[in-house]
């Protein structure tokens, strides 16, 4: 195994908590105290270690993928300095010391995940996502490679309905797979252009675009307005609506949202 260093402080168990709390995720599997991820056809084990994570097997491409997955693109140090000026976040950041929100490295995977999560609980969305992964993905050791865009582009929407998608979500997923949208190229665009490109797709709206900016591109000002759990967090911690809170948290809305949502899940 090889140590992949991450900026301190880093708490692996706290950072990857979302892969445990909502049930098993076939594509990012928590098992035996470690994360498993299919990377370049290999079953990669990622486990917490002093100074970062131990990764096995390891090569430069796997390391890049692991660092992206574990949120290396977040400017956590700048956020922590800024949060000291907000009484609520100052306390939350102290309580969640070492929390670095993970992101999904694959834009296609993130958007399909957003579609499955629309208007259902994350536990229900996870169950649907897992059936989709097992039906159309590839098993790699104890984890699954997420179904590719090319595979989904040639199936019928009814095949997705059979694994739990609503008809609208099935149609939107196949339409996205068949679209000409350059998903990888979205990384090169400014936030507003990414929003326009996502919203132009069938079945994807503002909420979907913000979560794509937040959980794939790690853009600092992403703020998923309309998210019911984020609304609950805004009311609980600040006593205001999420629409009112967003501007107050500039320019770190994304990390603020992650920290508030994580704090809401704590005992």
Encode pLDDT of 99-118 as tens digits.
999 999 999 999 999 999 99
3.40.50.740, 1.10.760.10, 3.40.50.970, 1.10.340.30: CATH of 107-212: 1.10.340.30
Domain boundaries, the chain: 2-70, 73-94+216-267, 107-212
Would you say 134 and 156 are in contact if contact means Cβ atoms under 8 Å apart?
A: no
Mean of the per-residue pLDDT values of the chain: 96
pLDDT at residue number 1: 85
3.20.20.140, 3.40.50.2000, 1.10.1670.40, 2.40.30.10: CATH of 73-94+216-267: 1.10.1670.40
pLDDT at residue number 193: 98
Is residue 66's pLDDT more than 90? yes
Over residues 223-258, the pLDDT tens digits come to: 999 999 999 999 999 999 999 999 999 999 999 999
Q: Is the pTM of this model over 0.85?
A: yes
Q: Could you tell me the CA-to-CA distances from 127 to 36, 121, 177, 199 in Å, in that order?
A: 18, 10, 21, 25
Over residues 22-58, the pLDDT tens digits come to: 888 999 999 999 999 999 999 999 999 999 999 999 9
């Amino acid at each position: 195994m090889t140590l992949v260093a991450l900026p301190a402080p880093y708490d692996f168990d706290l950072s990857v908590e979302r892969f445990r709390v909502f049930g098993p995720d076939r594509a990012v599997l928590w098992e035996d105290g470690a994360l498993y991820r299919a990377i370049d056809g290999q079953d990669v084990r990622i486990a917490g270690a002093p100074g970062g994570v131990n990764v096995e097997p390891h090569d430069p491409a796997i390391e890049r993928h692991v660092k992206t997955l574990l949120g290396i693109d977040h400017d956590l140090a700048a956020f922590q300095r800024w949060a000291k000026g907000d009484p609520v976040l100052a306390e939350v950041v102290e309580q969640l010391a070492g929390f670095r929100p993970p992101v999904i490295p694959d834009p296609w995977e993130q958007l399909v995940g957003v579609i499955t999560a629309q208007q259902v609980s994350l536990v229900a969305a996870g169950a649907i996502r897992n059936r989709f992964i097992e039906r159309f993905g590839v098993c790699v050791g104890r984890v699954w490679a997420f179904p590719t865009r090319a595979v989904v582009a040639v199936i019928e929407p009814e095949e997705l309905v059979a694994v739990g998608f609503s008809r609208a979500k099935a149609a939107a997923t196949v339409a996205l797979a068949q679209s000409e949208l350059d998903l990888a190229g979205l990384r090169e665009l400014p936030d507003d252009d990414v929003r326009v490109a996502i919203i132009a797709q069938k079945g994807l709206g503002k909420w979907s675009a913000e979560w794509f900016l937040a959980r794939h591109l790690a853009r600092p000002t992403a703020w998923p307005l309309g998210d019911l759990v984020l609304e609950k967090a805004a009311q609980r911690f600040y006593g205001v609506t999420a629409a009112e809170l967003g501007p107050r948290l500039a320019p770190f809305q994304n990390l603020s949202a992650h920290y508030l949502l994580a704090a809401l899940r704590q005992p």
